[in-house]
């Protein structure tokens, strides 16, 4: 694994050479260097200690760009001088066994200045820069009656679009970020600026290049502007909880919701017994818990949807299936975030645990229960072989998604933690393939190269490779992210 972080002498730059390359392209005041950790920290990895021997010796040069034209000029010169450029747009899943996508000595574009918000209420759309977050955009639009589903929250729309991740939302109800796109502005790896889509609410027939860049993780272009159709904020919402006898019972509930034609929920989370116990849920602890949210144009519509889902839960053995006030429901959501390590005051920190690794099981509805059972057996095997490690099953069950997540002691040696994370990734991949699970929440490369290769086959990956070669013939943009991950045993891209 260490070799993926060792300086590549062919692409690494001295500080002097870097500044010579950038001379005349950007204001020197917007250029700085940092010595980042080899992993992307994220909230949950702040306490993990990384050996000094694993840190890079070359700083990464960050360039705060101000416009598509500035990015275009940088990429054109990069092609002339064969200079790799990186941008963290749609990085994907963060884990201890995945190193930072930009190697030491690299030049990385910082898009934080591209944060404009330009609503056109009469036109029914809003144009934004890629650095605008979901939370910020909704705060601007909500006074006028518009908002977007919370896919993840603090993540930027550039990241959402370039990964097309739906996060905690229920796809069959909400869709994915790409469903709201009306057009993009993209800087190609060779420096040309391309604008896609329309300002019309009817999408063009024929080729629409918007979809080409949606989900491609900034491997074939940097998204610099986004046009989104405005979405009315649901006028009425209802909330509820269901105490289920087991995780598998929640899977059967979801399957029956779809089988019976019940309108899918806006929000439905799964928390298993182990998670509830580790987090210290007060009072009765069921075999599993579901948190459910519905919406509607009228209060009766939202209430009818919730009642129908709760009734299905009762049919599958729920010992408690009741509506909740928003305040009561938010308390359970706060518990979920705190216990998972996402909250400001994580309950797991009291146990000196942190989420080591989490897989995503986006399986077909008819294999979900069997997949849950297999994941439970796997988690017990891992916990038995590694005392101190705890496995839980949580996730966005309304979309047919659950996450086998492993918590480990933060004080463990980094190499031990990293090795275990790699083992978990390999084992979960086999589980995904066995039960037909997709990658509906996380990114493409390098994290899920193995899944794409084995699920779709080499022809699929070769086609992706040809698109990359066509638009980035010199492999200038995010090239290290495009290569196969170090844990792969097969020949990759």
Q: Which of 57-61, 144-148, 154-158, 257-261 has the lowest mean pLDDT?
A: 57-61
Which pLDDT does position 11 carry in this prediction?
A: 39
How much of the chain exceeds pLDDT 70, in percent? 88
Asked if the model's pLDDT at residue 384 lies above 70, the reply is yes
Nearest C-alpha neighbor of 188 from the set 154, 212, 159: 212
What 8-state DSSP symbol labels residue 262?
A: P
Q: Residue 172 is encoded by which pair of tokens?
A: 């069959």
**Which helix (H) or strand (E) element contains residue 395?**
strand 390-395
3-state secondary structure of 48: coil
Cβ atoms 269, 329 nearer than 8 A: no
Q: Which of 64-68, 169-173, 289-293, 360-364 has the lowest mean pLDDT?
A: 169-173
Q: Which of 73-77, 166-170, 303-307 has the lowest mean pLDDT?
A: 166-170
Asked if the model's pLDDT at residue 18 lies above 50, the reply is yes
Cβ atoms 147, 229 nearer than 8 A: no
Question: Binning pLDDT at 50, 70 and 90, where does residue 12 land?
Answer: very low
pLDDT in tens, 110-168: 999 999 999 999 999 999 999 999 999 999 999 999 999 887 767 899 999 998 888 77
Give the CA-trace dihedral at 376, 378, 383, 386, to 10 degrees: -170
CA–CA distance from 362 to each of 132, 172, 397, 430 (Å)? 28, 13, 9, 13
**Cα–Cα distance between 313 and 244 in angstroms, integer?**
8
Which pLDDT does position 485 carry in this prediction?
A: 40
Cβ atoms 26, 108 nearer than 8 A: no
Cβ atoms 57, 104 nearer than 8 A: yes
Cα R_g (the chain), whole angstroms: 23
Query: Where are any strands of DSSP class E within 150-287?
Result: 181-187, 193-195, 222-229, 236-244, 267-272
Question: Binning pLDDT at 50, 70 and 90, where does residue 340 land?
Answer: low
**Cα–Cα distance between 381 and 361 in angstroms, integer?**
18
The length of the chain is 493
Do strands 85-87 and 107-110 pair parallel, antiparallel, or not at all (unpaired)?
A: parallel
- Give the mean pLDDT of 21-29: 90
**Cα–Cα distance between 397 and 267 in angstroms, integer?**
9
**Cα–Cα distance between 410 and 388 in angstroms, integer?**
10
Nearest C-alpha neighbor of 393 from the set 408, 409, 377: 377
Structural domains of the chain in order of their starting residue, each with its CATH number:
2-112 (3.30.43.10), 117-229 (3.30.465.10), 236-435 (3.40.462.10)
Give the CA-trace dihedral at 427, 433, 436, 440, to 10 degrees: 70
Q: Residue 358 is encoded by which pair of tokens?
A: 């989490």
Q: Which of 294-308, 438-452, 470-484 has the lowest mean pLDDT?
A: 438-452
**Which helix (H) or strand (E) element contains residue 60?**
strand 60-64
How much of the chain exceeds pLDDT 90, in percent? 58
116's CB contacts (< 8 A; 6+ apart) are 127, 128, 129, 132
DSSP, residue by residue, 194-220: EE-S-SSSSPPSS--THHHHTTSTTSS
Q: Which of 58-72, 244-258, 278-292, 335-349 has the lowest mean pLDDT?
A: 335-349
- Angle, helices 414-435 vs 368-385, to 10°: value is 160
Quote the Cα angle for 211-217-218, to 5°: 90
- Give the mean pLDDT of 270-286: 90
Which pLDDT does position 187 carry in this prediction?
A: 98
Q: Residue 341 is encoded by which pair of tokens?
A: 């390590």
Which pLDDT does position 96 carry in this prediction?
A: 77
**Cα–Cα distance between 300 and 288 in angstroms, integer?**
28
**Cα–Cα distance between 158 and 91 in angstroms, integer?**
11
Which pLDDT does position 390 carry in this prediction?
A: 92
- Give the mean pLDDT of 52-61: 78
- Angle, helices 458-471 vs 449-456, to 10°: value is 120
Asked if the model's pLDDT at residue 302 lies above 70, the reply is yes
3-state secondary structure of 493: coil
- Give the mean pLDDT of 470-489: 72
* CA 293 to centroid of chain Cα atoms: 21
- Give the mean pLDDT of 19-27: 86
DSSP-assigned beta bridge partners for residue 34 = 60
Mean pLDDT taken over the chain: 86
Which pLDDT does position 484 carry in this prediction?
A: 46
DSSP-assigned beta bridge partners for residue 32 = 62
Asked if the model's pLDDT at residue 106 lies above 80, the reply is yes
**Cα–Cα distance between 415 and 190 in angstroms, integer?**
39
**Direct distance between the N- and C-terminal alpha carbons of the chain, in angstroms, rounded to an integer:** 18
């Amino acid at each position: 694994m260490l070799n993926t972080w060792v300086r590549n002498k062919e692409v690494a730059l001295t500080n002097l050479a870097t500044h010579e390359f950038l001379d005349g392209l950007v204001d020197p005041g917007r250029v700085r260097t940092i010595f980042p950790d080899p992993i992307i920290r994220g909230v949950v990895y702040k306490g993990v200690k990384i050996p000094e021997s694993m840190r890079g010796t070359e700083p990464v040069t960050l360039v705060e760009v101000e416009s598509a034209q500035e990015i275009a000029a940088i990429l054109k010169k990069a092609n002339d001088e064969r200079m790799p450029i990186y941008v963290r747009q749609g990085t994907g899943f963060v884990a201890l066994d995945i190193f930072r996508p930009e190697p030491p000595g690299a030049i990385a574009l910082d898009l934080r200045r591209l944060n404009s918000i330009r609503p056109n209420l009469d036109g029914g759309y809003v144009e934004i820069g890629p650095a605008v977050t979901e939370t910020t955009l909704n705060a601007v639009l909500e006074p006028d009656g518009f908002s977007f589903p919370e896919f993840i929250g603090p993540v930027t729309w550039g990241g959402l679009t370039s990964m097309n991740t739906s996060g905690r939302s229920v796809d069959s109800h909400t869709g994915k970020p790409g469903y709201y796109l009306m057009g993009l502005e993209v800087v190609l790896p060779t420096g040309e600026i391309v604008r896609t889509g329309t300002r019309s609410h009817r999408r063009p027939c024929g080729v629409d290049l918007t979809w080409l860049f949606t989900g491609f993780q900034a491997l074939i272009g940097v998204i610099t502007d986004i046009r989104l159709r405005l979405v009315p904020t649901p006028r009425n919402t209802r909330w509820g909880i269901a105490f289920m006898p087991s995780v598998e019972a929640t899977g059967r509930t979801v399957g029956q919701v779809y089988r019976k034609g019940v309108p899918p929920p806006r929000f439905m989370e799964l928390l298993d017994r182990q998670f509830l116990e580790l987090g210290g849920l007060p009072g009765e602890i069921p075999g599993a818990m579901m948190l459910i949210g519905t919406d509607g144009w009228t209060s009766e519509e939202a209430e009818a949807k919730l009642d129908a889902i709760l009734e299905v839960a009762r049919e599958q053995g729920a010992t408690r299936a009741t509506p909740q006030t928003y305040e009561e429901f938010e308390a359970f959501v706060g518990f979920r975030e705190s216990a998972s390590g996402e909250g400001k005051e994580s309950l797991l920190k009291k146990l000196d645990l942190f989420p080591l690794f989490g897989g995503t099981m986006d399986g077909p509805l008819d294999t979900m229960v069997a997949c849950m059972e297999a994941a439970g057996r796997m988690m017990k095997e891992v916990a038995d072989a590694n005392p101190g490690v705890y496995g839980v099953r949580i996730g966005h069950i309304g979309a047919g998604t659950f996450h086998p997540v492993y918590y480990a002691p933060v004080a463990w040696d980094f190499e031990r933690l990293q090795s275990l994370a790699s083992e978990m990734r390999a084992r979960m991949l086999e589980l995904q393939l066995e039960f037909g699970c997709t990658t509906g929440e996380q990114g493409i490369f390098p994290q899920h190269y193995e899944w794409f290769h084995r699920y779709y086959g080499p022809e699929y990956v070769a086609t992706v490779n040809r698109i990359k070669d066509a638009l980035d013939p010199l492999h200038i943009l995010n090239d290290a992210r495009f290569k196969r991950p170090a844990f792969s045993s097969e020949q990759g891209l």
